[in-house]
Each structure stands twice: as structure tokens, then as C-alpha cells.
Amino acid sequence: MVPVGSFEQHGPHLPLDTDTRIARAVAQALPDVVVAPAIEYGASGEHEGFAGTISIGAEAMETLVVEYGRSAFRWTKRVLFVNGHGGNGPALAKAVALLRYEGRDAAWVPCAVAGADAHAGHTETSLLLHLSPDLVHMSLAETGNLSPIADLMPGMRSGGMVAVSQNGVLGNPVGATAEDGAYIFGELVGRVTDGLARWEPGPDGRLR
């Protein structure tokens, strides 16, 4: 298991490594696996309008995953990249598809649940209250843009996150709780565990 995260702004109340923390925790909760150190930087260009964000870009991300896989497969038979940052998805899909084309049994899976808000809202804040409560500053939590993500994508593509959210939040973190986080985390782990047991990567290597 290779946790894949990012180092990017998550509003005024969550740590910069939120995505990495979630991906690592999910990977570590899976049964009968070996968990590698996380890839802690990702493709986060849409967040670069906010201080603290460091992005390596999609092209570098793709190359990193391909070379990581080629190296790991010299001694292992299977690798699953557990992705905590949505922006890494296109690079992971291309990289893992290439690894599979080369005959390597790689796959990737997103840390995603149905009904989640997009960024630093109720979902991620609840997860961090469950996983790393000492790093969550609820006194600074603010409601962000509540528009559907599909409506925000044109603005994000042209101007980044800062163009659609002044505080870097998409959703409402104010009512987040550790109890909700524990439930969401259980859903995440259960979904990934089921996908791992079936091991049916799609054409882009994503576990079904």
C-alpha cells in the first residue's frame, strides 16, 4: 500500500497535509498489507493561490508514480496506491495504466465516499477530528462556497481555488464532529477493503 497525498491549503482550520493523513490512515487500517511511507506531495496547482501549498504538478506526479512502480515491482507482485487528493487522480490513472500495460499488477483507489463535500468542509474536517484532533482548529472553521462542484469547475480551471473560495473551503466544516469522522472513516476503509479483496482494476487501473 502506497499512501498518496498532497501538501496544500485546507482552509484556515486544517493542516496542510490533511490529504496525506487520510490516505495513510486508510492504508494502515487495511488487513494483511504492508504500508510504505507516503508520497506527501502531489498535483495541487489549483491551490497555489494560497500560502503553504506546494505542488509538483501532474507531469512530475505521473513520472514519480511510474518510476516508483517500476522500482517496487522488482521485488513485489502487487502495489495499490491509496489516493487522498482528488487532483492526483488524472496523473495516477495515466501512470497506473502504463504500469499495467507493462505487465505490472498495479492499481489505485481514491479515498472518497458518497455525499462528501469537495474540500475542507464537513467531510475532511470530521475525518481529521477523528484522526488528528489536536491539529484541527475549529475556532477558525468557516463556511466556504456551497455551490455544486460541477458549477465551480470552470472558475477553478481558469483561476484556481482562490477564484471560487476566498477562504479555500468548499463546503461547511462548522458542524463537523469526530463521531461523524469515525463513521466516514469506517465507510472509507470498508470500501477500499472490499475493492482490495475483489482486485478488479478498471482500464485506468482504478479499483472497482
Question: What are the pLDDT digits (tens) for 103-115?
Answer: 999 999 999 998 9
- Quote the number of domains for the chain: 1
* Threshold 0.85, pTM exceeds: yes
168 within some domain? yes
> What confidence tier does 116 reach under pLDDT thresholds 50, 70, 90?
very high
Of all residues in the chain, the percent with pLDDT exceeding 70 is 100
203 within some domain? no
pLDDT for residue 31:
94
204 within some domain? no
Q: What is the pLDDT of residues 90-100, one digit of tens each?
A: 999 999 999 99
Residue by residue, DSSP assigns the chain as -EEE--B--BTBTS-TTHHHHHHHHHHHHSTT--PPPPB--B--GGGTTSTT-BB-HHHHHHHHHHHHHHHHTTT-S-EEEEE--GGGHHHHHHHHHHHHHTT--EEEEE---TT--SBSSHHHHHHHHHH-GGG--GGG----B-S-HHHHHHHHHHH-GGGT-TTS-BS--TT--HHHHHHHHHHHHHHHHHHHHH--B-TTSBB-
pLDDT for residue 71:
98
> What confidence tier does 164 reach under pLDDT thresholds 50, 70, 90?
very high
Rg of the chain, C-alpha, whole Å: 17
**In angstroms, rounded to a whole number, what is the distance separating the alpha carbons of residues 125 and 170?**
11
Q: CATH number of the domain at 117, please.
A: 3.40.50.10310
Amino acid at 160: G
**In angstroms, rounded to a whole number, what is the distance separating the alpha carbons of residues 117 and 67?**
33
pLDDT for residue 67:
98
Q: Which domain holds residue 20?
A: 2-198
Q: What is the pLDDT of residues 188-208, one digit of tens each?
A: 999 999 999 999 999 999 999
Determine contact, residues 48/16, Cβ cutoff 8 Å: no
78 within some domain? yes
pLDDT for residue 197:
96
Query: Mean per-residue pLDDT for 8-19?
Result: 98
Nearest-CA neighbor of 81 among 21, 1, 19? Answer: 1
Determine contact, residues 168/10, Cβ cutoff 8 Å: yes
pLDDT for residue 49:
96
**In angstroms, rounded to a whole number, what is the distance separating the alpha carbons of residues 12 and 66?**
34
91 within some domain? yes
Pairing assessment for the beta strands 79-83 and 106-110 based on DSSP bridges: parallel
Q: What is the pLDDT of residues 38-57, one digit of tens each?
A: 999 999 999 999 999 999 99
206 within some domain? no
> What confidence tier does 5 reach under pLDDT thresholds 50, 70, 90?
very high
129 within some domain? yes
Round the average pLDDT of the chain to a whole number and report it: 97
Q: What is the pLDDT of residues 127-146, one digit of tens each?
A: 999 999 999 999 999 999 99
178 within some domain? yes
Residue identified by cell 481514491 is 110
